[in-house]
Every structure is written in C-alpha cells, then in structure tokens.
C-alpha cells in the first residue's frame, strides 16, 4: 500500500534555529489571522508578531535571518490551541521538517497530516545543532525519517520519531484523505448498513 | 479495553475498515459545519477536485461571528461578512443544507443539531469545534475535529480515528434545589482535573444523571472537553425518546418504532466493561463558581479560594489568582460583577433562560446598575420559544439586553466582548485569559441561576438565597 509519490523518507536542506521553550500556536499564528477563509496567506503570518518590532519593522527573529527548510526548536513546541493554521503557516513559509526537544501532541499530529516530520533529539544535541547553524547557516542538514537520524555537516545524531508517524511518512500514507477516498465504496456500504441512514 | 458500552457498539457499527496507519476509518453519521472552521476545508477539497461525498449527512449553520444586535448585511465587520459569504457560497455549490440567518433555525451548532432532531442516539457526530461532545447527551458519540479532518469528512464521509478508553462516571444521589448540570460538570472537572479525561470518553450515569432533563444532559456533556475527554455521553432512555419525538429531522411513522428499538439496543449493556469507574456524590454538590483561569479552578459558592499548594498545579494556581486578583481564603461570593453573559452552547437553551428568568422574578429585582447583562439565546428556535413564554419581557424589564442568537461573548469573535479588566459572570464553558475579548478581563463560570442572582445583587451571589 506504499504510495511513493507521497512518501517522506528524508528531508535535506539547511536549518533555522528557533530557540525557546513552550512556543505556542498563538505565537506561530496570532489569533487575529484565524478569520481568513483560506490557508493561502498563512505563510506570511508565520510568527507575524514575533518577527516585528513595535513600529512594524522586521527584527532579527530567526525567520527573518535564516531561510532554511528545517526548523530546529526546543521543548514543548506548538503547545496551546489545536489550530491547524500553525503548521499550515510553517509549511507555507517553507518548513519541510521540524527537529526539536519535544512537541505538543496535537501539533505533531497536525504536522503529520501535512507530511511534515517532527523529530525529537535530546536537549544537548538540539543546542549543538542550533549553535552550529548560528555559526554557519549554510551547513547542510538532513533529516532521515526512515533511519531516525539527523545529520548536520559531518555530525550524525540519533533521533526519535514516533512509530505511527514514521510509518505514515515512510509509507506515504499520512494523507488520510487520499487513503480513505480510495475506499469510498466501503464507506457507502457502511452507510447503507446503518439503520438510521434511511429514516 | 471496554466492552459492550454504547461507545463500543457505536464504534463497531461505524467502522469501515482498519487503516494501514493503524487508525480506524469511522463513518460519520452527522457532520455539522459552521463558518469559522469549514472554509479552509472546502478550499482544500477544491484544490483536489473532490465533491462532498455525503451531502445529505452534512448540515451547516452560522454562529461564531454573527452579530447579536444589528444583523443587516453586509455586516460592519468585513472579515465576518467574508466568512459568512464564503460559507453561503460553499453550501450552495456543494448541496449542503444551511440554517442561515433567515431560516428561522440558525443558532449555535451544538444547540441546533439536538433541537432539530438531527442528532440521534447511536450516531457518530463530528464538527470542527471542540464542544461537539455536547451531542453525546442524546446517546450519540460526538467528537470535535480539526480542519484536515473536516476535509476528510467532506471527501470521504469518514474520519481516521483512534479508539479511546471508556470511563464511567456514576453520579449518585440527587442535586439540590439551585444546583444544576453546570455545577455537576464543574465538580467533575475539579475532581478529575482539566487533563484527567485525556485518552478517555466519559459515560455519565447514575441517579442524578438519569434525573437530569435532556437540556441538562447537553450542558453536562458539553464540558466533557474541558475535562480533557474528547467525547462524553449519556445512555439513551425514555426521556431521550420523548425529547426527539416530533422534532423536524427525527424519524416518524413506522420509522419511529424501528428507531426506538435501535436506540434501546445501542445503550451500554448492564454487564458492560469499563476501563475505569469514578463515583461522584451528587447530594454534596453546591452551586459552583470558578476562581481561576481554567474550568478546574473552581469552588462551591460556600467555599473559599484555596492555597495554591493545595491544588494539583500550584504554579498555575498562583498565576491564576494573580490574574483574577483573589487570594487564598477569599470567598467568591460578594465579588463585584461588571458584566453578565447568559448564553453559549453550554447554557443557552430554553431551560437555562427559564431558570435565569425565574431567579429574576423571584427576587423581584432588576439588574444592578453596575452590571451590563446580555441574554443571548442559543438559536432562533430557542429565542422564539422564549418569547412565546414571555421570558424576553422578564429580561428586558430587569434591564438585561435581549439579543439575537450566536456564540457572542463566549468567544468574543463577533464584537460582543468584555472591556479592559472587567469581571464577567458567564454561563459559558471557558474562562481562559483573553477568551472573552480582553487580555486582563476576568471570567467567572457559573450556572444561569447563579448568574441571574449575581446580576440582581451586582456581586457574585448564591441563587439559593435569592430563591429563599
Ligand atoms: S458557544 Fe462558545 S464554546 Fe460553544 S461553539 Fe460557540 S464559541 Fe464554541
């Protein structure tokens, strides 16, 4: 049932060090942008307030300074409300994988359903990687989902990724819409068997 | 693992297949949508060129952003206008029935589903809103879902779900006069914690739950999510059937008998197995009021604010007390009230309006001068019935504003909000910082009766004293 078009086995590129514990979804996308009727503009709203000074000018927030595709974060990233706007914003900004100490559960789930791996490492390793990117932003960074490994330059780190997430990404079955749409006839059968559907 | 509970039976009946990712593909019996969480999902559907797979099982209404005063179109708030227009376009294009502003049936999604008889025992009910647990009051399994899952339901009529454990919450005894389902659920959340229900579905039962009317059960199940449980339900019984009889979308004629038979069969068996059981003493419950910034930070009206160290999260309690400007040993009774919000999917039904009006009448008093009070019926149906009974006159006479239905000050997305540091007694379900529209505003959750008593006194009051 592997779907090669959708399989996310590895993500290669460069990193964006984003330091701080408990960065919540309100910081990732401020609540006032939730009234938009599509996700199209969400990329612009990623860390909208955090990236700006009070007078509206861009500050030295990592998203203004770095342009990588792998976010490197600390503890409990993505906590707060379950809004899917947060991973949508990061994805549309250009994030393809997130490496960190730990993630809020619903946030990680939402990332999975967009095909974005959330990979955990211990605090020291995260700090080391963040420092390395800060010193040399162009250092190649690779997240190997299948082997649960993060490679930064020539240094390899053992990482963790939940079994369910790993399987979903590697097998290309993270997209539940496609997965279930392919068995629409089965859903119709269940529909027909339920007594209340013809009352 | 639980066995032979309503949850198990509903789960099995709706299972389409096990998915290769380890989840279960579960058929959705009723999908309710509203203007805030559906447009992105419709957008994603169009990106892929899919149509809505089961439009007949999908119903829409509008609640979060609608004004409760001037509803002429276009709305003053451009973004609100855009959201409602987007929904109107989407339901038209995809053939989904819509209870719009001029339908006579518009209202908060969790009020509309049950009162129209759309929600029925044994169904899976989903909505892009965490308070979908409400629908469990009729013996359905109601679950809140996120935007990508809404897309799943549109495209496939199903969700990919993980089965939860079942915790039976047995409430013994009877609730006193002046004590309501709201006080019961706040007691349960205090006892089990705001995260106590994670991984569980709650089955509420026992004498005190059987004694509740359906509207009380709806309030009870509504706040399951505040206790961490994705869903909560009450087994269907004669009261459930009587509630549904004759409702617009409920089965009738020959279907009715077949339906009742089915509904009886899906209730938990007497020998059902639960993953956990908790007992709550219903006789001991008082009117409850929150002192903090989550629904578990709550006390009986005769109790005093606890020492942070005595709570299960001292650090959070300390911060909450600072925000609320209360100290350990303080009583909440007597605290000055600036605003009162009667409404929401928790307590915006006819019986809630009746109880509040009854307190206003019994006291023979009007709203205290210092209090700005709003009564916001949960739906146009509720509003109409309340007016037939003359409740609107009681509110207006007491100086309480009588509004059009919507979520209003529960989430403050429609312009109704508290200002600056105002303290609001609210019949809604969340007292999070900023929830009612002001970062330093304060929310005290309570029952409609406690709210009404507080409105006449101008300070937090015990409804039992106003009755007496
Ligand atoms: S009334 Fe409040 S809790 Fe209920 S659906 Fe509306 S915003 Fe959500």
In a mutational test of the B interface, the residue from A79, A173, A191, A193 whose CB has the highest number of chain B CBs within 10 Å is A191
Domain residues for A26?
Answer: 10-172
Other Cβ atoms within 10 Å of B389 Cβ, number: 13
Secondary structure (H, E, C), chain B: CCECCHHHHHHHHHEEEECCCCCEEEECCEEEECCCCCHHHHHHHHHHCCCCCCHHHEEEECCCCCCCCCCCCCCCCHHHHHHHHHHHHHHHHHCCEEECCCCCCCECHHHHHHHCCCCCCCCEEEECCHHHHHHHHHCCEEEECCHHHHHHHHHHCEEEECCCEEEEEEEECCCCCCCCHHHHHHHHHHHHCCCCCCCEEEEEECHHHHHCCHHHHHHHHHCCHHHCCCEEEECCCHHHHHHHCCCCCCCCCHHHHHHHHHHHHHCCCCCCECCEEEEEEHHHCCCEEECCCCCCCEEECCCECCCHHHCCCHHHHHHHHHHHCCCCCCECCCCECCEEEECHHHHCCHHHHHHHHHHHHHHCCCCCCCCEEEECCCEHHHHHHHHHCCHHHHHHHCCCEECCCCCHHHCCCCCCCCCCCCEEEECCCCCCCCCCCCCCCEEEECCHHHHHHHHHHCECCCHHHHHC
- pTM score, whole prediction: 0.91
Q: Cα(B4)–Cα(B267) distance, rounded to whole angstroms?
A: 9
Measure in Å the smallest separation between the Cα of B54 and chain A Cα atoms.
9
Residues in chain B with pLDDT < 70? 467-468
Closest partner CB to B14 (pick from A84, A190, A195): A190
Nearest residue on chain B to A190, alpha-carbon basis: B16
| CATH number, domain containing residue A163 | 3.20.19.10
Nearest residue on chain A to B56, alpha-carbon basis: A197
Residue extents of the structural domains in chain B = 7-161, 165-284, 288-467
Residue B346 CA to ligand 1 center (angstroms) comes to 8
* A195 occurs within a structural domain: no
CA atoms B246, B248, B254, B258: torsion sign:
negative
Residue B60 CA to ligand 1 center (angstroms) comes to 15
Nearest residue on chain A to B257, alpha-carbon basis: A199
Residue B153 CA to ligand 1 center (angstroms) comes to 21
Report the CATH fold assignment for B165-284. Aconitase; Domain 2 (3.40.1060)
Residue B345 CA to ligand 1 center (angstroms) comes to 6
Q: Which atom of ligand 1 is nearest to the CA of B428?
A: 2
Measure in Å the smallest separation between the Cα of A44 and chain B Cα atoms.
16
Please name the residues between 60 and 119 in chain A that touch chain B, using a CB distance below 8 Å. Answer: 82, 84, 88, 106, 110, 113-114
Q: Answer whether B39 touches A (CB < 8 Å).
A: yes
CB–CB of B43 and A164 under 8 A? no
Report the CATH fold assignment for B7-161. Aconitase; domain 3 (3.30.499)
Structural domain count of chain A: 1
Q: Which atom of ligand 1 is nearest to the CA of B348?
A: 1
Q: Answer whether B36 touches A (CB < 8 Å).
A: yes
Q: Cα(B190)–Cα(B197) distance, rounded to whole angstroms?
A: 12
Closest partner CB to B22 (pick from A88, A164, A174): A164
Closest partner CB to B83 (pick from A35, A195, A197): A35
**The pLDDT value given to residue A127:** 98
User: What residues does ligand 1 touch, defined as CB less than 6 Å away?
Assistant: B 63-64, 108, 110, 129, 131, 344-345, 407, 410-411, 428-429
* A87 occurs within a structural domain: yes
Residues in chain A with pLDDT < 70? 1-5
**The pLDDT value given to residue A3:** 65
Choices 3.10.580.10, 3.90.226.10, 2.102.10.10, 3.30.499.10: CATH for B288-467? 3.30.499.10
Measure in Å the smallest separation between the Cα of B43 and chain A Cα atoms.
6
Q: Answer whether A2 touches B (CB < 8 Å).
A: no
pLDDT tens column, B413-457: 999 999 999 999 999 999 998 899 998 999 999 999 999 999 999
* A185 occurs within a structural domain: no
* A146 occurs within a structural domain: yes
Q: Answer whether B284 touches A (CB < 8 Å).
A: no
Total CB pairs under 8 A between chain A and B: 122
Two domains, one topology: B7-161 and B288-467:
yes
Q: Please provide the size of chain A in residues.
A: 199
* A196 occurs within a structural domain: no
Measure in Å the smallest separation between the Cα of B284 and chain A Cα atoms.
34
Q: Answer whether B78 touches A (CB < 8 Å).
A: no
User: Which residues of chain A make contact with B36, given a CB cutoff of 8 A?
Assistant: 34-35
């Amino acid at each position: 049932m592997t779907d090669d078009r959708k399989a996310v086995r590895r993500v290669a590129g460069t990193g964006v060090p984003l330091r701080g514990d408990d960065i919540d979804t309100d910081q990732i996308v401020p609540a006032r942008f939730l009234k938009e009727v599509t996700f199209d503009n969400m990329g612009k709203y990623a860390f909208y307030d955090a990236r700006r000074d009070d007078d509206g000018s861009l500050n030295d927030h990592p998203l203004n300074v770095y342009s990588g595709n792998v976010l490197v974060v600390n503890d409990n990233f993505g906590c707060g409300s379950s809004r899917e706007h947060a991973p949508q914003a990061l994805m549309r900004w250009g994030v393809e994988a997130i490496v960190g100490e730990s993630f809020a559960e619903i946030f990680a789930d939402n990332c999975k359903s967009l095909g974005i791996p959330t990979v955990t490492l211990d605090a020291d390793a995260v700090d080391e990687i963040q420092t390395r990117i800060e010193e040399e932003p162009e250092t190649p960074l690779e997240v190997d989902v299948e082997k649960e490994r993060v490679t930064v330059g020539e240094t390899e780190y053992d990482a963790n990724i939940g079994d369910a997430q790993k399987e979903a990404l590697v097998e290309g079955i993270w997209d539940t819409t496609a997965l279930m749409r392919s068995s629409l006839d089965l859903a119709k059968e269940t529909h027909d068997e339920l007594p209340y559907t013809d009352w | 693992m639980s066995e032979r509970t309503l949850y198990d039976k509903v789960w099995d009946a709706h299972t389409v297949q096990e998915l290769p990712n380890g989840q279960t593909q579960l058929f959705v019996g009723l999908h309710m949508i509203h203007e805030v969480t559906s447009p992105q999902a419709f957008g994603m559907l169009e990106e892929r060129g899919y149509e809505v797979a089961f439009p007949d099982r999908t119903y829409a209404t509008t609640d979060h952003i609608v004004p409760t005063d001037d509803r002429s179109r276009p709305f003053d708030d451009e973004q609100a206008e855009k959201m409602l227009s987007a929904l109107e376009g989407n339901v038209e294009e995809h053939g989904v029935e819509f209870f719009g502003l001029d339908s006579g049936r518009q209202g908060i999604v969790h009020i509309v589903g049950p009162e129209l008889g759309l929600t029925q025992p044994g169904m899976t009910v989903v909505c892009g809103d965490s308070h979908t647990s409400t629908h469990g009051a009729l013996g359905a399994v109601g679950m809140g879902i996120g935007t990508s899952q809404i897309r799943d339901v549109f495209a496939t009529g199903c969700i990919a779900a993980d089965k939860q454990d079942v915790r039976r919450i047995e409430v013994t005894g009877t609730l006193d006069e002046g004590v309501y389902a709201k006080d019961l659920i706040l007691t349960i959340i205090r006892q089990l914690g705001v995260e106590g229900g994670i991984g569980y579905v709650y089955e509420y039962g026992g004498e005190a739950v059987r004694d509740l009317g359906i509207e009380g059960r709806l309030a009870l199940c509504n706040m399951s999510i505040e206790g961490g449980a994705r869903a909560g339900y009450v087994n269907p019984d004669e009261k459930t059937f009587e509630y549904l009889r004759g409702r617009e979308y409920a089965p009738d004629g020959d279907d009715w008998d077949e339906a009742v038979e089915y509904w009886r069969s899906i209730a938990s068996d007497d020998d059902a197995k639960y993953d956990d059981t908790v007992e709550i003493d219903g006789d001991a419950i008082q009117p409850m009021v929150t002192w903090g910034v989550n629904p578990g930070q709550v006390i009986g009206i005769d109790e005093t604010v606890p020492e942070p160290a005595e709570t299960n999260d001292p650090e959070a309690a300390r911060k909450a007390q600072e925000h609320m400007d209360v100290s350990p040993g303080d009583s909440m009774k007597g605290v000055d009230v600036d605003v009162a919000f009667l409404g929401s999917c928790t307590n915006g039904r006819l019986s809630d309006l009746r109880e509040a009006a009854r307190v206003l009448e019994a006291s023979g008093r009007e709203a205290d001068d210092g209090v700005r009070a709003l009564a916001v019926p949960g739906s146009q149906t509720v509003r109409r019935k309340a007016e037939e009974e003359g409740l609107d006159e009681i509110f207006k006479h007491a100086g309480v504003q009588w509004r059009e239905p919507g979520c209003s000050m529960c989430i403050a997305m429609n312009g109704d909000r508290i200002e600056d540091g105002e303290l609001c007694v609210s019949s809604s379900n969340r007292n999070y910082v900023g929830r009612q529209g002001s970062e330093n505003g304060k929310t005290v959750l309570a029952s409609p009766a406690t709210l009404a008593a507080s409105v006449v006194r101008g300070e937090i009051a015990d409804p039992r004293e106003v009755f007496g």
